[in-house]
């Protein structure tokens, strides 16, 4: 792992927008689902997932769910329940109430907060099917009060009728109401436009391959989507009190995700930098996913030696990492100076995987420097707000002329007259109908 | 204005994605600004706005601002201040605090809420320059605590050195820190990537023409953007206690915005339907923007006669309008059944322009049915959240094995080992460095 100064270091960031062919394929799939519904959905499911299904077989049955429970270890169910309880407790703190502000003149202004009605969660197939991500996408929606939470996942991952039983159990424990064995761009289009078998949703979230990502972009506006996640990132900001083997292990826990994942140590301590570099090499050799982790470390990893903690903090704020670990004896004292980081882990025991799986905060966190302006997934992502305006007659008579002046200034005479016609009529004593 | 049943009625919605030529032009402009900075910015400003400027002339000076105040009526300044005070009071109710949850074992979990650091507000030139929109974009950012709020607007609208003095005054009253006389796609690119004269921002908001909208899409990801607004919409849900002339005036106040604006009355009362149709025709003939309003009413307007209020409510929820007026004797009793509406106006005196200019809630509201899943602009649009995880040694020793099981289940051995190495080391009594 390269040890370098902050001047030498330059972060490489890449965002996938897909090839023209991939974009064309996705547009065709989305259009076909919109036009043909189930017919196209089943056709693509056979073509891409090799599963020949009847419409009636798209939805996962209660019996299949029961079967899934019998296939997983009880310790897994208990672990998922413990994690889900922590995630619920944390996200429950984010819930907000509608409010109203009632004024003496009878005017009422307010903000109504409601859950989305129906949300679709995409779960990738194969090795990328992570039960923990099911919890992290579903539980915030459930806490927000979303009554209908739908999961789609491709039927090509072995296990229960083509779906990984661990995914089914995690979804059931998280509170998914409906599960369908469909995946890819066709599943995203089905959620957006609806088919005979799958009712349309208001928002689609969850990770997926490039086709899924392009399909989400394609249907955005018809439904809401979550942000497209980039490769995982971790930055560890540590001084010489950090334990090199812990730091190295945490860097590698992100590096093993993806060749494009980025694991970076920022430290004023040359000795820590050298020790971590050695530890990374040592631990890499024992890692099953060594090839992936090594590629990540070599292409996107770095150990940056800075002049001071202050410089280290400014490097962190420039990187705006998805995950930040601060490993010093008094890490809390540095939090106030961290402007940009999706999730901040403090001290020697807050290893990043603690947050990935268990502590409670969401593990879906802005990547690629977008922590500058965006936030981890939370309850706010599954609500909508409506403004409420109940203006009293007294208030309108008081403020009407000001409103008319502002409207005329903008050349919107129709706006001015909507107020004026009321003022004139009420000065004539009104015709009674207006009285509230 | 057509009177029809809810069965006959079908809402037409259109979203502009621009022509291939427009998309190509915007990509070129954005790339040139990114590469050449001010040089390209000044070149496009001369080409598109006919303004030949030096870099030093891009920023509006305090003297120009002072001159703008001398050009506007005092009554306008007072009106803007009164509106701004109401908008501030409403949005101040939306502000939230960071929170922490401290557990007996020493674990601390929390959510840190911070304002964005720098926000750019686009203000269109010409007739589309609305002082009220300046307030509605700037004040929520200011209440959120954004320290740097930048306004850009094209120098082609007459008035102070090419900028409408009413816009400059509104921006100053709202709390803009920097103002630049640039517009179009080139201004959006300058805000996203920065130039020698304009530092880059974290988020860009505000309405604009198709080139501005396409440029915002193009830079999305480098910065955050607000949603692209469609044509304005109003739905009035009224019974026979409504005053036809008021309803007609409110419908026309939206219709005059844009030929594609949509103004719809939904009512169980045939008599109200007929009376409003007649009033609309009457008032149309007196409207300066008659041509626009008439096109809107004829192409996108409707008077829908429903069987009952219940059916009316379901029509409203299907339309998910930007603005909804409920004009009955007890409108508050219907609010609970309205699932989808950006802003809800209640009773005979809550004419939609009251919300456009003065009451306090934001007038930037989801259009095109997106109220199903999105919300009016508010303070939340200008903050970012970071999760905080400070896991204690005790908690890690307690939960470590569960975390390891979940990580191994997902095949992420590196995640498991990051926890395991700590458990093993601590069982050996640690080496001291880990102690917090």
Concatenated DSSP letters of B295-306: HHHHHH-EEEE-
Residue in chain A nearest B419 by alpha carbon? A351
Task: State how far the Cα of A297 lies from the Cα of A386, in Å rounded to an integer.
Answer: 47
Is A91 tagged catalytic? Answer: no
- The answer to whether residue A436 neighbours chain B at the CB level (below 8 Å) is yes
Inter-chain residue contact A399 with B354, CB threshold 8 Å: yes
Q: Which of B130, B365, B387 sits opposite A410 (nearest CB)?
A: B130
What's the gap in Å between the CA of A41 and the closest CA on chain B? 25
Inter-chain residue contact A342 with B293, CB threshold 8 Å: no
Tell which phi-psi region holds residue A50, choosing left (phi > 0), alpha (psi between -120 and 50) or beta: left
Is B322 tagged catalytic? Answer: yes
> Binding site for NAD(+), residues of A?
122, 186, 209
What's the gap in Å between the CA of B390 and the closest CA on chain A? 5
Selected for mutation to probe chain B from A386, A420, A429 (highest B CB count within 10 Å) is A386
B69 is in an annotated binding site: no
E strands, B41-140, in order: 99-102, 108-115, 118-122
Residue in chain B nearest A401 by alpha carbon? B79
HEC states along A256-283? CCCCCCEEEEEECCHHHHHHHHHHHHHH
**CB A246, CB A354: distance < 8 Å:** no
Residues 370-389, chain B, touching A (beta carbon < 8 A)? 370-376, 378, 380, 383-389
> Binding site, residues of A?
122, 186, 209, 232, 254, 257, 323, 356, 410, 415
Per-chain mean pLDDT for chain B:
92
Residues 39-58, chain B, touching A (beta carbon < 8 A)? none
**CB A127, CB A159: distance < 8 Å:** no
Selected for mutation to probe chain B from A106, A349, A392 (highest B CB count within 10 Å) is A349
Residue in chain B nearest A170 by alpha carbon? B406
Mean pLDDT of B309-330: 96
Task: State how far the Cα of A329 lies from the Cα of A240, in Å rounded to an integer.
Answer: 10
The residue length of chain A stands at 436
Inter-chain residue contact A109 with B117, CB threshold 8 Å: no
Inter-chain residue contact B355 with A380, CB threshold 8 Å: no
Tell me the pLDDT band of B18, cut-offs 50, 70 and 90: confident
Task: State how far the Cα of B290 lies from the Cα of B435, in Å rounded to an integer.
Answer: 76
Q: Which pLDDT does position B15 carry in this prediction?
A: 55
- Radius of gyration for chain B, computed over Cα atoms and rounded to the nearest angstrom: 27
Residue in chain A nearest B344 by alpha carbon? A388
Q: Which of A353, A396, A403 sits opposite B418 (nearest CB)?
A: A353
In order of start, what are the domains of chain A with their CATH numbers? Answer: 20-225 (3.40.50.1980), 230-373 (3.40.50.1980), 391-427 (no CATH)
- The one-digit pLDDT tens for each residue of chain A (436 residues) are 778 777 666 655 555 578 899 999 999 999 999 999 999 999 999 999 888 889 899 999 999 999 999 999 999 999 999 999 999 999 999 999 999 999 999 999 999 999 999 999 999 987 778 999 999 999 999 999 999 999 999 986 544 457 889 999 999 999 999 999 999 999 999 999 999 999 999 999 999 889 999 999 899 889 999 987 788 999 999 999 999 999 999 999 999 998 999 999 999 999 999 999 999 999 999 999 999 999 999 999 999 999 999 999 999 999 999 999 999 999 999 999 999 999 999 999 999 999 999 999 999 999 989 999 999 999 999 999 999 999 999 999 999 999 999 999 999 999 999 999 999 998 887 654 444 3
Torsion angles phi and psi, residue B304, rounded to 5 = -105, 120
B211 is in an annotated binding site: no
Mean pLDDT of B337-364: 97
Indicate the helix (H) or strand (E) that contains B390: strand B383-390
Give per-residue pLDDT as tens, B95-150: 999 999 999 999 999 999 999 999 999 999 877 789 999 999 999 999 999 999 99
- The answer to whether residue A332 neighbours chain B at the CB level (below 8 Å) is yes
- Which residues are CB-contacts of A194 (< 8 A; sequence separation ≥ 6)? A37, A200
- The answer to whether residue B14 neighbours chain A at the CB level (below 8 Å) is no
Selected for mutation to probe chain B from A23, A415, A435 (highest B CB count within 10 Å) is A415
CB pairs under 8 A between A and B: 382
Q: Which of B202, B289, B371 sits opposite A372 (nearest CB)?
A: B202
Inter-chain residue contact B245 with A402, CB threshold 8 Å: no
Inter-chain residue contact B386 with A392, CB threshold 8 Å: no
- The answer to whether residue B98 neighbours chain A at the CB level (below 8 Å) is no
- The answer to whether residue A417 neighbours chain B at the CB level (below 8 Å) is yes
B38 is in an annotated binding site: no
B23 is in an annotated binding site: no
Whole-prediction pTM: 0.93
Q: Which of A94, A348, A387 sits opposite B376 (nearest CB)?
A: A387
Inter-chain residue contact A388 with B346, CB threshold 8 Å: yes
Catalytic residue among A173, A218, A256, A322: A322
Inter-chain residue contact A101 with B80, CB threshold 8 Å: no
Q: Which of A287, A329, A411 sits opposite B127 (nearest CB)?
A: A411
State what percent of residues in chain B have pLDDT above 70: 95
Inter-chain residue contact B350 with A391, CB threshold 8 Å: yes
Task: State how far the Cα of A131 lies from the Cα of A127, in Å rounded to an integer.
Answer: 11
Strand, coil or helix: A390: strand
Residue B352: its chain A contacts at CB < 8 A? Answer: 418
Tell which phi-psi region holds residue B279, choosing left (phi > 0), alpha (psi between -120 and 50) or beta: alpha
Residue in chain A nearest B239 by alpha carbon? A433
In 3D space, the residue among B229, B235, B238, B227 whose CA is nearest the CA of residue B317 turns out to be: B235
What's the gap in Å between the CA of B51 and the closest CA on chain A? 24
Q: Which pLDDT does position B302 carry in this prediction?
A: 95
**CB B66, CB B359: distance < 8 Å:** no
What's the gap in Å between the CA of B12 and the closest CA on chain A? 14
Q: Which pLDDT does position B76 carry in this prediction?
A: 97
**CB B143, CB B369: distance < 8 Å:** no
pLDDT at B171 over 70: yes
Torsion angles phi and psi, residue A262, rounded to 5 = -125, 120
DSSP string, A191-253: HHH--SSS---SEEE----HHHHHHHHHHBTTBEE-PPP-S-EEEEEE-TTS-HHHHHHHHHH
Selected for mutation to probe chain B from A373, A375, A410 (highest B CB count within 10 Å) is A373
DSSP state of B160: B
Task: State how far the Cα of A45 lies from the Cα of A57, in Å rounded to an integer.
Answer: 12
Query: How many alpha carbons lie under 13 Å from residue A349 in its C-beta half-sphere?
Result: 25
What's the gap in Å between the CA of B307 and the closest CA on chain A? 22
How many Cβ atoms from other residues are within 10 Å of residue A217's Cβ? 16
Q: Which pLDDT does position A14 carry in this prediction?
A: 52
Residue B117: its chain A contacts at CB < 8 A? Answer: 339, 372
Task: State how far the Cα of A430 lies from the Cα of B9, in Å rounded to an integer.
Answer: 34
- At CA A212, angle to CA A15 and CA B385, rounded to 5? 60
What's the gap in Å between the CA of A200 and the closest CA on chain B? 12
E strands, B226-379, in order: 233-238, 262-267, 302-305, 323-327, 343-346
CA of residue A150 relative to chain centroid, distance: 16
Catalytic residue among B64, B91, B256, B323: B323
- The answer to whether residue A97 neighbours chain B at the CB level (below 8 Å) is no
Q: Which pLDDT does position A159 carry in this prediction?
A: 45
> Binding site for substrate, residues of A?
232, 254, 257, 323, 356, 410, 415
Residue B271: its chain A contacts at CB < 8 A? Answer: none
Handedness of CA A133, A137, A138, A144 (dihedral sign): positive
Token reading at B54: 């030096």
B257 is in an annotated binding site: yes
Q: Which pLDDT does position B436 carry in this prediction?
A: 40
Q: Which pLDDT does position A436 carry in this prediction?
A: 39
Give per-residue pLDDT as tens, B39-77: 999 999 999 988 888 989 999 999 999 999 999 999 999
């Amino acid at each position: 792992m390269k040890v370098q100064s902050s001047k030498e270091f330059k972060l490489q960031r890449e965002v996938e927008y897909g090839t023209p062919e991939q974009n064309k394929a996705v547009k065709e799939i989305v259009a076909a689902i919109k036009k043909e519904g189930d017919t196209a959905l089943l056709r693509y499911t056979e073509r891409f997932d090799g599963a020949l299904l009847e419409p009636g077989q798209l939805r996962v049955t209660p019996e299949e769910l029961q079967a899934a429970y019998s296939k997983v270890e009880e310790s897994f169910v208990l672990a998922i329940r413990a994690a889900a309880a922590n995630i619920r407790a944390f996200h429950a703190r984010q819930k907000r109430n509608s409010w109203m502000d009632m004024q003496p003149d009878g005017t009422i202004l307010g903000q109504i907060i409601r859950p989305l009605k129906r949300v679709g969660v995409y779960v990738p197939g194969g090795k990328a099917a992570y039960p923990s991500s099911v919890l992290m996408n579903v539980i915030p929606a459930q806490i927000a009060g979303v009554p209908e939470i739908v999961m789609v996942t491709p039927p090509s991952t072995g296990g229960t009728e083509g779906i990984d039983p661990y995914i089914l159990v995690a979804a059931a424990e998280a509170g998914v109401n409906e599960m369908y064995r469909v995946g890819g761009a066709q599943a995203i289009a089905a959620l957006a436009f609806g088919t005979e078998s799958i009712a349309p949703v208001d928002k689609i979230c969850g990770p997926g391959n490039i086709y899924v990502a392009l399909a989400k972009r394609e249907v955005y506006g018809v439904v809401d989507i979550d942000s497209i996640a980039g490769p995982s990132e971790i930055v560890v900001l540590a001084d010489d009190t950090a334990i090199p083997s812990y730091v190295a292990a945490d860097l590698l826990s992100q590096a093993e995700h993806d060749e494009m994942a980025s694991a970076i140590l920022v430290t004023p301590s040359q000795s820590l930098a050298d020790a971590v570099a050695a530890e990374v090499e040592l631990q890499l050799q024992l890692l099953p996913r060594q090839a992936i982790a090594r590629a990540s470390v070599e292409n996107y990893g770095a150990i940056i030696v800075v002049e001071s903690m202050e410089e280290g903090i400014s490097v962190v704020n420039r990187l705006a990492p998805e995950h930040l670990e601060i490993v010093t004896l008094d890490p809390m004292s540095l939090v106030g100076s961290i402007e940009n980081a999706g999730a901040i882990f403090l001290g020697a025991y807050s290893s990043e995987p603690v947050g990935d799986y268990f502590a409670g905060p969401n593990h879906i966190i802005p990547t690629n420097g977008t922590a500058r302006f965006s936030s981890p997934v939370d309850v706010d992502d599954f609500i909508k707000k409506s403004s409420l305006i109940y203006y009293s007659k007294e208030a309108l008579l008081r403020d009407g002329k000001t409103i008319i002046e502002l409207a005329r200034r903008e050349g919107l005479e129709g706006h001015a007259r909507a107020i004026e016609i009321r003022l004139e009529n009420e000065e004539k004593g009104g015709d009674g109908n207006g009285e509230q």
